[in-house]
Amino acid sequence: MIKKIKLLFAFSCFLNGFLISQVSTGIYHSPLGIPLEISATFGDLRPNHFHMGLDFKTGGVTGVNIHAIADGYISRVKIMPLGYGKVIYIDHPNGVTSVYAHCSSFKEPLASYIKKYQEQNKLNEIDLKLSPTDFPVKIGQIIALSGNSGNSTGPHLHFELRDTKTEKGLNPLQHGFVAYDKIAPSPEKIIIYLLDKDGYLIPNSSRTYPIIKSGNSYSLKNGKIVLDPNFLAGYSSVGIAITGKDQGGKIPSKFGLFEQILVQEKDTLYHCRIDTISFDHNRFINDYCDYVQYKKNGSKIHKLFYKKDNLLDIYKTEPFQIVNLFGNDSIPLTISLLDANQNKSQIGFTLVNRTKTVIQKPFFETGYLSPDSAYFFEQLGNSISMPMHSFYEPLPNNLKITSNGLSIGNTDIAVHDSIKIILTPLPNIDISKQFIAQIGATGSKTGITTKIIQGKLTAYLYNFGNYAVSTDKIAPTIAPDNFKITDTLIKTKKLQWKINDGQTSVSSYQLLINNQWKILEYDKKNNTIFHIVDKNEHGKKKYNIKVTDACGNEANWTQFLNLD
């Protein structure tokens, strides 16, 4: 159960019932019309990305007023079935953009403008850029209602600050928002990784050491880690990593780590501070953490070393500063963890190596593909293209290409840059009904976005594994969800249908009422589509819904409905 962390602001005070903050660029208004409670912080580790803002709880309900935090103008509005769902972007004069995601609805006059735009252009999904004169806003103005749209896992407001010019994500707790937090982060485990001379992880070569807490102090058993000669296997470099939690709030809640420092004697080997992140570099999280352990069991392991190809802004020291062994070593190390309020915890220990080590050649010299190279393989009319730096660690060269697909690596290996595969379609079957699917361990098929280019099936992969050509000739299904077609009179403000496409995915959806196009919203996470009933839609009318999947299979649902 995620508990609550109360959010305060610098020089906080109440004005008209809302919490505000005095910051260097002016006064920020609370983004919600209720006391702020954080459920997730900026930089929390997520699958393939960092969490790029603060999540504020809304008491488990939708419909809470969302306020502009400062003067500015609405610069962008998006409506999508996944991601941020319904989201508003506001550009402010201080060069910061505030973002309000997972809304349930927009407030006037924006709401009517967006509705008219959608109806005129017959668009259920939009990504609309606006000019400074279209919708200027004042500090504290209500702009939307909170919701659960997009990829939200429950009602809340996802709030972000971005640099307007670069669009980099800014940690709100470093830009005017201050969390109530007097508790220093708590380290839990230290992990030692064996590295080759180029800084790559030796497969299956790590050791974990639990941290002992006594009051506010932290230590290891006997204050040292003695490296086993069998573990070292002659290699002379190791990387350090740590797990831990950051607690804050009057009722302590567990969040991710904000800042880590590793010092060898007096030399700072590593310093990371999660204060700003480029969306373009977000996927480097898979190199920042131990991807394998996160994928397998959700362990959030923060590596205290990084390679030169990792472009994240969070690193404050040079890359590839690791612990080198020379034989009969006794190396003092100190790890410091700090939260956004600079509460600090520290653990010191000695790394002991009692054997003579020998610098080895790269472990992947043969039988592996290097991240520093680009590759192209073609066989039996099928091919795979891997650009340079498309993966982070040396990849076992287990590529197999068959007449119907290919396999490479496994799902525990992280992909950074998209990998292109081209497969030959199955004979004697309409190519428009074919797609590329990832084949699971049990034979399950997950369709990936596939394009037909010059008579071949083309897709871009973000996961290693097994891929093959599959077919989809089955149309999606459509069924009423919150009413019955036998109802003689339907009393609801929202008509909702359940839809499903078992093979690929829904690519388009449309609603006609008495042959007139109307807005239809898609909640992909719940496999539902819904229509908010207009006041002029009451009475008996003909409803027609068309849902099309990625292979062009089309489902139609037509009924006369009588709305009260």
Cis peptide before 185 (omega within 30 of 0): no
* pLDDT confidence bin for 250, thresholds 50/70/90: low
- For residue 7, pLDDT over 90 is answered with no
Using one digit for the tens of pLDDT, what is the confidence trace for 333-352? Answer: 999 999 998 999 999 999 99
d(CA 89, CA 158): 12
Residue 18 has pLDDT above 50, yes or no: no
| Closest by Cα among 344, 340, 315 to 41 | 340
Q: Is the pLDDT of residue 9 over 60?
A: no
Q: What is the mean pLDDT of the chain?
A: 91
Whole-number pLDDT of residue 15: 35
Residues sharing a CB contact under 8 Å with residue 9, sequence separation 6 or more, in sequence order? 19, 20, 21, 22, 23, 28, 30, 176, 177, 178
What is the per-residue pLDDT for 548?
97
pTM, to two decimals: 0.91
Give per-residue pLDDT as tens, 68-122.
Answer: 999 999 999 999 999 999 999 999 999 999 999 999 999 999 999 999 999 999 9
Could you write out the DSSP letters of every residue in 181-212? -----EEEEEEEEEE-TTSPEEEEEEEEEEPE
pLDDT of residue 252: 60
Q: Do the beta carbons of residue 333 and residue 174 sit within 8 Å? A: no
Reply yes or no on whether the pLDDT at 10 is more than 50. Answer: no
Cα dist. 53→101, 273, 525 in Å? 10, 15, 21
Q: Of 396, 343, 344, 350, whose CA–CA distance to 369 is shortest? A: 396
What is the DSSP code string of 412-472?
Answer: TSEEEEEEEEEEPPPTTS-GGGEEEEEE-TTS-EEE--EEEETTEEEEEEEE-EEEEEEE-
Cβ partners under 8 Å of residue 548, min gap 6: 476, 506, 507, 508, 509, 554, 555
DSSP codes, 9-71: ETT-EEETTEEEEEETTEEEEPSBSS--EEEE-TT-EETTEE--SEEEE-TT-S--EEE-SSS
Spatial distance between the Cα atoms of 37 and 249, rounded to a whole number of angstroms: 9
Would you state the structure tokens that stand for residue 5, as one six-digit string? 């962390």
- The per-residue pLDDT for range 107-121, each reduced to its tens digit, is 999 999 999 999 999
Q: What is the pLDDT of residues 410-440, one digit of tens each?
A: 888 999 988 999 999 999 999 999 999 999 9
Report which of 108, 76, 77, 80 is spatially closest to residue 521, judged by C-alpha positions: 80
CA distance 386 to 376: 6
User: Predicted confidence band at 36 (pLDDT cuts at 50, 70, 90)?
Assistant: confident
- Which of these, 70, 88, 169, 73, lies nearest to 127 by C-alpha position? 88
Asked if residue 472 lies in contact with residue 550, where contact means CB atoms within 8 angstroms, the answer is: yes
Confidence of residue 454 (pLDDT cuts 50, 70, 90): very high
User: What's the pLDDT score for residue 361?
Assistant: 65
* SS3 sequence of 97-164: EEEEEEEEEECCCHHHHHHHHHHHHCCCCEEEECCCCCCEECCCCEEEEEECCCCCCCCEEEEEEEEC
End-to-end CA distance of the chain: 41
- Comparing CA positions, the residue from 154, 187, 152 lying closest to residue 259 is 187
Q: Is the pLDDT of residue 248 over 90?
A: no
Q: How many helices (H) and strands (E) are present in the chain, helices listed first?
A: 4, 52
- Mean pLDDT computed over 499-523: 95
Alpha carbons 485 and 350: distance in angstroms, whole number:
73
How high is the pLDDT of residue 412? 87
Confidence of residue 159 (pLDDT cuts 50, 70, 90): very high
Measured distance CA(290)–CA(477) in Å, rounded: 40
Two tokens at 15?
């004005």
Give CA–CA dist 104/150, Å, rounded: 10
pLDDT tens track for 373-399: 999 999 999 999 999 999 999 999 999
* Averaged pLDDT, 446-453: 95
Structure tokens at 76: 């962008």
Residue 166, token pair as written in the block: 């670069």
**Do the beta carbons of residue 282 and residue 217 sit within 8 Å?**
no
- What is the pLDDT averaged over residues 365-372? 86
Q: How many C-beta atoms surround the C-beta of residue 560 within 10 A?
A: 10
The predicted pLDDT at position 28 comes to: 84
Q: What pLDDT does 17 receive?
A: 32
pLDDT tier for residue 20 given thresholds of 50, 70 and 90: very low
% of the chain at pLDDT higher than 90: 79
Please write the tens of the pLDDT for every residue from 532-542: 999 889 999 99
Whether 437 contacts 444, CB under 8 Å: no
Residue 403, pLDDT score:
92
Q: What percent of the chain has pLDDT over 70?
A: 93
Look at 249-253, 298-302, 506-510 and tell me which has the smallest mean pLDDT. 249-253
pLDDT of residue 5: 36
**According to the model, what pLDDT value does residue 117 have?**
98
